[in-house]
Amino acid sequence: MSIYLPSTMSKQLTLYTSTTCPYAQRVEIALAEAKNAKFTRYEIDLSNKPEWYAPKVNPASKVPAITYGGPEVPPDQPSPDSVKLNESLVLVEFIADLYPESGILPQDPVLRAKARLFINTVNVELSKVEQGGGTPEVLIQAFESFQAHLPPKGFAVGEFSIADIALAPVLLRTHLRLRHDLGPWKPGQGEGQKVLNALQEPTLARFWQYVQDLQTRPSVVATWREDLVLPKFEKRFRALQKENELETKSTCFEYSSHLDSGNGSLL
């Protein structure tokens, strides 16, 4: 359980999260960017959620969620006097408002708008992967479209922001799946490697640089547990492949769903 918080802030903040959940990772990245933030981190087992969690924290019974304010109490005994908040992108902006010094929500209103627009625009592009069945060819086309929205250098709107926080967990997991050939295709045919090879081509150089910049961002590194995410992916995809159930609807959770406001019970 991690604890961080600025001396200027007296209200308690408890994050209910899950290490393998992409939506929850967004909020953890935001808190890591707010270097002086103090909070209590409480891990929720998504396969065996506590009975008190839905009625006392999040009626949707999903993560991430936050309790804010109220008395200091054990996380498994949330106070009715605390404010209950959920939805990953809402929580990311909440953290940005609490800790403006983090810089994750640009001060310039134009850049703020661009960051939000970037999230929506890329969501549309990645939804095409869902519609196209997630094949290597469709993935590569989506990456090319994604790349067209990036500036010549830096992050989504220049400095690291809410836009990058929204995308980082998606791209980390996509890259992980490709490296281990996990996707809507038969295993052992090198389809994942085909996409990885395309990422090394000059035509996708800017997109690949962006992915690498995200992968090495300290807040992303600190909140990414590949060793825990991979076994879940392997179990899920191998079972689907074995049962021949890798239809479009079975794979969409990796793309468009991750960019919606999302709650992360999928992983």
DSSP, residue by residue, 103-120: -SS-SSHHHHHHHHHHHH
Per the CB < 8 A criterion, the answer to whether 263 and 60 are in contact is yes
Nearest CA among 51, 55, 48, 61 for reference residue 16? 61
| Integer angstrom CA distances of residue 241 from 61, 156, 178, 184, 228 | 29, 35, 15, 8, 21
Show the tokens assigned to 77. 């005994």
The per-residue pLDDT for 233 is 87
- The whole-angstrom distance between residue 230's C-alpha and the CA centroid of its chain comes to 15
Ordered per-residue pLDDT tens for the chain, 267 residues: 444 444 344 699 999 999 999 999 999 999 999 988 999 999 999 999 999 999 999 999 999 999 999 999 999 999 999 999 999 999 999 999 999 999 999 999 999 999 999 999 988 877 777 666 678 888 999 999 999 999 999 999 999 999 999 999 999 999 999 999 988 787 778 899 999 999 999 999 999 999 999 999 999 999 999 999 999 988 887 776 676 444 434 333 333 344 544 443 333
**Which amino acid appears at position 240 of this protein?**
L
Under 8 Å between Cβ of 109 and 115? no
In this structure, what token pair is assigned to residue 122? 């890329």
Cα–Cα–Cα angle for 34, 211, 183, nearest 5°?
Answer: 115
The distance between the two most distant Cα atoms of the chain, rounded to a whole number of Å, is: 56
Which pLDDT belongs to residue 265? 33
DSSP state for residue 254 in the 8-state scheme: G
How much is the pLDDT for 254?
37
Answer positive or negative: Cα dihedral of 100, 103, 107, 113: negative
- Tokens in use for 52? 């008190």
- Say which amino acid occupies 202: P
What pLDDT, in 10s, does the model give residues 97-143? 999 999 999 999 999 999 999 999 988 877 777 666 678 888 999 99
Q: How many CA atoms lie within 13 A of 143 on its CB side?
A: 28
Whether 170 contacts 259, CB under 8 Å: yes
CA distances from 168 to 7, 85, 215, 216, 245 (A): 29, 22, 8, 11, 28
- CA–CA separation, 25 vs 19, rounded Å? 7
Instruction: State whether residue 158 is helix, strand or coil.
Output: strand
Q: What is the DSSP letter of 165?
A: H
Helix, coil or strand: residue 162? helix
pTM: predicted TM-score of the whole model, two decimal places: 0.86
Whole-number percent of the chain with pLDDT over 90: 70
Q: State the amino acid at position 264 in one-letter form.
A: G
Quick one: pLDDT at residue 61? 95
Q: What is the pLDDT of residue 202?
A: 97
Which is nearest to 69 in space by CA: 53, 56, 55, 80? Answer: 80
Helix H or strand E segment including 43: strand 40-43
